[in-house]
Each structure stands twice: as C-alpha cells, then as structure tokens.
Structure 1
Amino acid sequence: MTEPLFCSVELAARIERAEEQFIAAGTEAAIQRDPGRAFVSPIAGGFACFAEDGAPFNKVVGLGFGGVPDETALDEIESAYAARGSAVQVELAHMADPEVGVLLTGRGYRLVAFENVLGMQLSSVRATPPPDGIDVRQCGEDELEAWLDVVVTGFAYPDDQGTPTHEDFPREIVERAERDLVAAGARTYLARRDGVVAGGGGMRITDGVAQLVGAATVPEHRRRGVQTALLATRLADAAAAGCDIAVVTTAPGSKSQQNVQRQGFHFPYTRAVLVKVPE
C-alpha cells in the first residue's frame, strides 16, 4: 500500500512547473520546423504555446502560481492565437490562484472540460515482474518508429469509459507531437505481448517529478495487463533515477484513471480547461 499523497499548493506548483516545461520544450521542437508560426511566450509564471494548426501543444499552461496575468499580457497572447486562427485554451489547476479564473471568465473564456492529475510518492515503489508473456523495455533508437506506430494507433482507438474528450487530433498531428515529446526529453518504452508489439508509453523527468505520458495499447491487446506492466516499469525506473513523485494526467472517470488508481495513484487535483474563441 502506498502512502496517501497530500497535495499542498507547493506540490501542485511543482507539478505544474514540470508540465509547463514539458509542453514548452515540445513546442520548441515544433519551432525548429516553422519558426515564423510556432511560438512559446512566457506569461505570469506559465507559458502560452502554439506548435501548428490543431496541435495538442496549443495551450496556455502553468498559470496561477506566479501571479495573476495582467490584461495587456492577455491581450497580446490572445492576439497571437487569433492571428493563427486558433482559439485560446487555458489549462488551469484548481489549486491555482482563484483570481486567475475570475479574470479569464470575465474576459469570455468558457469551461469546456476537466482533466485529472494523479500522483504517487515513489519512496515505497519496488520493481514488480510483468504478467507472463509481457515484456517491457526502454526503446532503443532503432525502435522509435515501432513505438510511434503503436502509441499513435492506440490513441486512434480510445476507450469509451469516462467523460468524452473535447479534442480530436488527426493521426499525422499526433505523430509529430509524439516526436516532439521525444525531442523534449521523454524516454520511450515498448511493451511486447508474446513477442508482438502491444503498447507503449513515455516518461519525462523534471526536478524529481516523473511525468508518465504517451501510454497506449492497441485494441487487440487490451485488458491483458499491458498498461499495468508499462506503468510498473516506468515507476521503478523513476524511483531508481531519484524521483520522489510520479504523476499522470487522465480524463475523468477513464480506464486510464482506473488503472493508475489500482496501482496506488492518488487524486491530488483537477485542471479546468477554459477556451476563448477569437471573434
């Protein structure tokens, strides 16, 4: 049994800093492809990011722990997104300064979704063997394409448990985003079941926080322990690397949330997803 995780404002701020650095680093990789269109702009302790049309990195992250943004800064950010024909999406932790939410809703942002951030203390994590027939290993460079294929394919067929997503990304956009996450420092893991590639996942470490990302299993291998094995391997590697906490973001009520809670993750906080569509 893992020790219950109490999430203070300080811990939430630490997790959000890791998240904003991850999204910004992934967007920096996109800037290398299109420096005239992609951008990363600091705002009130967070970042406003835009990678390309329809990309999952197109959002404002990390607000609410470094002061309240002023109206002029928001005007500039909103103009930058509008110039690219994009809505402004802000992911705001419920433990952030509540004045930020008041400011955004006053400017016409509307609530469209929630996402749950779950965490686990790693002090008691021990390596556990995977189920029979399942092998999980960190990828070599020659396995990147296999990892991309299984992760992108898995995302194309989401489980229908939990709240429906408000986003839908084309396969080529997801693939480029995953490549950018690898460029941003994410470790990649492949799971094989009876010798066949069945699933994949990623992990990025920032200041002792292990972010577990990019987890997906192709439909024909689901409900066979693939994700449990991927989770256990990454947690053991995170603990061995000196991390004290692991975090994962899920849709509320999803199979992913159920899986990680079964493995000892706790529910520190929620992010509200607020969107403003350009006029």
Structure 2
Amino acid sequence: MPTLFCDTDLARRIEGAETGFIAAANQAAQRRTGGGGFLRPVAGGVASFAEPDSPWNKVAGLGFAGVPGDDELAAIERAFAERDAPVSVELSNLADPAVGALLTGRGYRLASYENVLGLAVSTDVELVAPPGVQVRPSGDDEFDVWLEVILDAVAHPDSEGLPWLDEFPRQAVAAAEHDIAATGARRYLALVDGVPAGGASMGVRDGIASFSAGTAPAFRRRGVQSALLAARLADAAADGCELATVTTQPGSPSQRNVQRRGFELLYTRAVLIR
C-alpha cells in the first residue's frame, strides 16, 4: 500500500527545489562560459538558458505561484528564439491547470513525459552491496573517472520504457556534469571487482535530496543502482533530509529499480515544446 501521498504543497516544494537546482546549475554554466545565457523568474518557476544544447535550457516550476502573463511568456519566447533554441516547459500534473491551457493556446505541443518518484528518508537504511560491488564517495581527484562512467551510461540508454525526449551531445553532458559539481552536489562511484561501473550524485535543497545516476552498459543488472541508492539514502538521512526524489522516464528500468527500493510515483511532468 502507498505510504507517501503527494499533495499540491509537497509538489510545490519539490518543484521549488528543482527550480533552485536548475538556477544554481545555470549560474555555474554562466561562470564557466563567461555569460551569454539567461535566467529569469517566471510565476514561481524559472526560465533558463545556459548555452547551446545544454540540459539546463528549459522552463520549470510553473503553476504553483500564479499563472504567467502573455507578455511575460512572449519575452521568454523571444529570448530563446534569439538563441535559436526551442522553448521546453516541464509542467507538473499537480500545477494549476490554467498554465497548461495557456501554453497550448500559445501553440505549445505535448512532446513527452517524465515521472517524479519519492521516498520518505529513514535513518533505518540497509546498505545493500551485492558481492563484488563497492560504493564510495568520489572526490575531485577522480572526477574524470567518474565522468567517463556517466558519459558511457548516457550514451547507451536503456531501450525499455519511454525514451528521453532529448539526446544531448557528449560535450554538453560533460559540461552539465561540471555545472552540477559546481553546485556542491555529492558524487558517488560504484566499482565492480575494482572496476568503475556506475556513478551517482545527490543534491540537497530544502530538506529534499535529489538523486541522479547511471551505470555503464557492461555492468547493468548487477545491483549497481541498488548499492548507489542505499549509499545516498544513508547520507540523506545523516543530513537530516525528509525526502529523496528521483526523476525517471515512464516505464524505464530506472523507475523499476527505484520502486523496488520503496520509491513511489508522486506525480508526472508533461514536457511541452514551442
């Protein structure tokens, strides 16, 4: 039976944490590149453009603090157009429905979905580590090793479930991971028999631990993700976090893996493009 109920207040809090994370990553990208992007608040959310092909080029967090005006959206659309980029909006199904109606009325089309899953953090965490699998914090001294594992995982996504809408160039993914590191997110490296096999990160905002991870194709289905989840949940508990969240594609192995660890589907985001 479900034990975690997500109402609009919890969704607002999660989307607020996500918005803060995107803003921090955008600012890190601007420092790295010397500028050229933009970051604008919009109706409780944020409109972000970091650099061409960046995962941080999106509008997120709308629908929990009012409805954006037509003039406000028009200015954002012009800013993306000036950079030859589409406008991609991630909209929670718990957001104000008026936002979705406004966007479709302006010509936005539904392009994809993504699921947000959560788990109430407990101090009673079983540190799962299948035979031969070791997870450790990953410092700056082995960032390149960690990054290669992540890039390998991203380059070979699982074919089950809905695919991610965007496939970002390798260089753009690498740049985004540097931006994540600059926000202060923790990194974890998983090894199988001493060989780097998976990587993960954890960012903490407002008592919410946000997880992301990847496993190199040669080491999938060997418990690497379960071990990485357990290590981060233990650290989230030690940090006093109340909730851990993961964003996955619907029906994906990643969703299955986290649900096996007790994560529950909280809400779905629609991805709308113009």
The answer, yes or no, to whether TM exceeds 0.5 is yes
State the distance in 2 between where 1:138 and 1:40 align: 31
Report deviation, 1:165.
2.3
Report deviation, 1:37.
1.6
Corresponding residue number in structure 2 for 1:262? 260
Report deviation, 1:153.
1.0
State the distance in 1 between where 2:272 and 2:24 align: 22
State the distance in 2 between where 1:264 and 1:186 align: 23
Report deviation, 1:39.
1.2
Corresponding residue number in structure 2 for 1:83? 82
State the distance in 1 between where 2:185 and 2:123 align: 24
Aligned residues of 2:123 and 2:234 also touching (Cα < 8 A): no
Corresponding residue number in structure 1 for 2:183? 184
State the distance in 2 between where 1:182 and 1:4 align: 33
1:68 paired with 2:54, answer no
Q: Deviations over 1:84-107 (max 9, x none)?
A: 000000000000011000100000
Corresponding residue number in structure 1 for 2:127? 128
The letter for the 1-side match of 2:205 is T
State the distance in 1 between where 2:165 and 2:20 align: 24
State the distance in 2 between where 1:236 and 1:123 align: 8
Report deviation, 1:147.
0.8
Report deviation, 1:43.
0.7
Q: Deviations over 1:241-274 (max 9, x none)?
A: 1001000000000000000000000001000000
Report deviation, 1:3.
6.5
Report deviation, 1:52.
1.0
Aligned residues of 2:128 and 2:226 also touching (Cα < 8 A): no
Corresponding residue number in structure 2 for 1:228? 226
- Between the aligned residues of both structures, percent identity stands at 55
State the distance in 2 between where 1:207 and 1:72 align: 31
State the distance in 2 between where 1:184 and 1:236 align: 21
Specify which of 201, 211, 216 is matched with residue 218 of structure 1: 216
The letter for the 2-side match of 1:19 is E
Q: Deviations over 1:102-126 (max 9, x none)?
A: 1000000000000000000013641
Aligned residues of 1:134 and 1:229 also touching (Cα < 8 A): yes
Deviates more, 1:242-251 or 1:137-146: 137-146
State the distance in 2 between where 1:3 and 1:165 align: 27
State the distance in 1 between where 2:123 and 2:89 align: 35
Q: Deviations over 1:49-106 (max 9, x none)?
A: 0111111110001100111001111111000000000000000000001100010000
Q: Which residues in structure 2 correspond to 1:1-279 (within 5 Å)?
A: 4-123=3-122, 125-213=124-212, 215-276=213-274
Compute the TM-score of the two structures, normalised by the length of structure 1: 0.96
State the distance in 2 between where 1:170 and 1:66 align: 34
The runs of 4+ residues in structure 1 deviating greater than 2 Å are: 33-36
Q: Deviations over 1:184-233 (max 9, x none)?
A: 121100001101100000000001000002x1111111111001100110
Please, what is the CA RMSD of the aligned residues?
A: 1.2
Total equivalences in the alignment: 274
State the distance in 2 between where 1:3 and 1:137 align: 31
State the distance in 2 between where 1:223 and 1:117 align: 22
In structure 2, stretches of 5+ residues that fail to align are none
Q: Deviations over 1:115-145 (max 9, x none)?
A: 0000000136413241111110111220111
In structure 1, stretches of 5+ residues that fail to align are none
